[in-house]
Amino acid sequence: MPVSSQGVRVVILLADPDAPTEIAQRMARMLPDRLADKSGQGQRFDVEVVSEPFTAEAEDPPTLMRRIVDRGSAENWDIVVALTDLPLHSHRRKLVVDLSHEHGVALLSLPSLGGWRLQRKARRAVEEAVLSLAGPRATGAEGAPRSQPPLGPFVGRLAPIHPGPVDEEEAADLRYVASGPRGYLKVLVGMVRANRPWRLVPGLSKALAAALATGAVATVNSTVWSLAASLSTPRLVIATVGSVGLMIGWLIVDANLWHRTAEGSPEARQRAALYNTSTVVTVGIGVLVCYVGLMIINFAWALFILNDQVFASMTRTPLNATDYWTLSWFVASTATVGGALGSGLESDEAIRAAAYSKREQERRHMLQDDHDG
């Protein structure tokens, strides 16, 4: 593995555009000093970020590793750590990281690190990968032995991660995967975070406009006052669940967000189930944020517009703080149904752009083109 003439190892963080590039840029500032301190061998490191869609039209680790190896060889880079926000799979397990000590490259799937403190976990994972690739094991003639995984601290910090099988023809010589229910949950949370569900709120401008209009009209309707005053808490909860579920289902169906696979293998079905679960959770979080926002706006509108004497004459009960919240709660459910109808005015592309990360959008475009072809 080449080393620069100044005795400084050049570490390239090859990152997919959008979130992976942002994560790589943030960690690049502190990595040189941290790597030098941890290496304990007087080594120095120079860290650079290269942002490019290296996962375009591919999501299998062997193909991606070959691309990274070819890219690193063409540029004569010392060490390459590639970061992607796509969930990767190998032998029906969720891939965390692939390493090739012979070529000095690593491939890290960010969703496998989970959704909490991702920046910190990603930095630690990159540090351990670089130190493993730059260590004595990486300079031997035969690379790192498959039977002696060098990333003990990496596994300990990110359990339930363990070594996974690597085929002989692959460029990687060491692989870590996540498995079991905890591993599945960690990857799912990481996928949802990569999708950034909070972006769904501004992405549904027409649906929100329809919901706000519905809420404004419903708040001044005396029939709605009477209904809200007569509803018990369980019925209000049922109305919330029904309206939010309707909105989630409508968005998924109308924008064709449901992932279908033409493959009949168990691995393909498992992968499709994971993608669809992340879609439901992502859209669900976005819709719930919209619902809470509608409640707050409806409450403020009710405080401004309602007259206690008129309300009492229509409902035969005095207007109090509980009535404001009950009315706002019920109107939010009604407005959410109106928003579901308004979402039909949004383009499918706008909804997908709001619901998915950039890499996931491109992956689905590729699958759609293959299906159409």
Render pLDDT for 217-243 as a digit per residue (tens, 0 to 9): 988 888 888 888 888 999 999 999 999
- What are 90's strand-pairing partners? 93
pLDDT value for 99: 93
Q: Considering only 51-65, 67-81, 203-217, 342-356, which range has the smallest mean pLDDT?
A: 342-356
Q: Which residue's entry shows tokens 């949802």?
A: 192
Secondary structure (DSSP) of 173-193: SEEEEE-HHHHHHHHHHHHHH
Q: State the pLDDT confidence band at 364, using cuts at 50, 70 and 90.
A: low
Mean pLDDT of 70-84: 92
Q: State the pLDDT confidence band at 331, using cuts at 50, 70 and 90.
A: very high
Distance CA(323)–CA(1), nearest Å, equals 72
Q: Considering only 17-26, 140-149, 202-211, 293-302, which range has the smallest mean pLDDT?
A: 140-149
Q: Which residue's entry shows tokens 């393909």?
A: 268
pLDDT value for 352: 64
Report the 10 Å Cβ neighbour count for 127: 20
SS3 for 93-129 is EEEEEEEECCCCEEEEEHHHHCCCCHHHHHHHHHHHH
Handedness of CA 38, 43, 48, 54 (dihedral sign): negative
Q: State the pLDDT confidence band at 345, using cuts at 50, 70 and 90.
A: low
Mean pLDDT of 82-90: 88
pLDDT value for 357: 57
CB of 64 closer than 8 Å to CB of 175: no
pLDDT value for 241: 95
**pLDDT, tens digit, for every residue of 285-318?**
988 998 999 999 999 998 888 888 888 888 777 8
Q: State the pLDDT confidence band at 368, using cuts at 50, 70 and 90.
A: low
SS3 247: helix
Stronger pLDDT, 241 or 159, i.e. the higher one? 241
pLDDT value for 153: 47
SS3 359: helix
Most trustworthy range by pLDDT among 75-84, 139-148, 247-256, 349-358 = 75-84
pLDDT value for 71: 92
191, pLDDT greater than 90: no
Stronger pLDDT, 105 or 255, i.e. the higher one? 105
Work out the percent of the chain whose per-residue pLDDT is above 90: 25
Q: State the pLDDT confidence band at 145, using cuts at 50, 70 and 90.
A: very low
Stronger pLDDT, 8 or 67, i.e. the higher one? 67
Q: State the pLDDT confidence band at 104, using cuts at 50, 70 and 90.
A: very high
Locate 102 and state its tokens. 């012979």
Locate 231 and state its tokens. 């509803």
Q: State the pLDDT confidence band at 1, using cuts at 50, 70 and 90.
A: very low
Mean pLDDT of 134-147: 51
Mean pLDDT of 269-290: 87
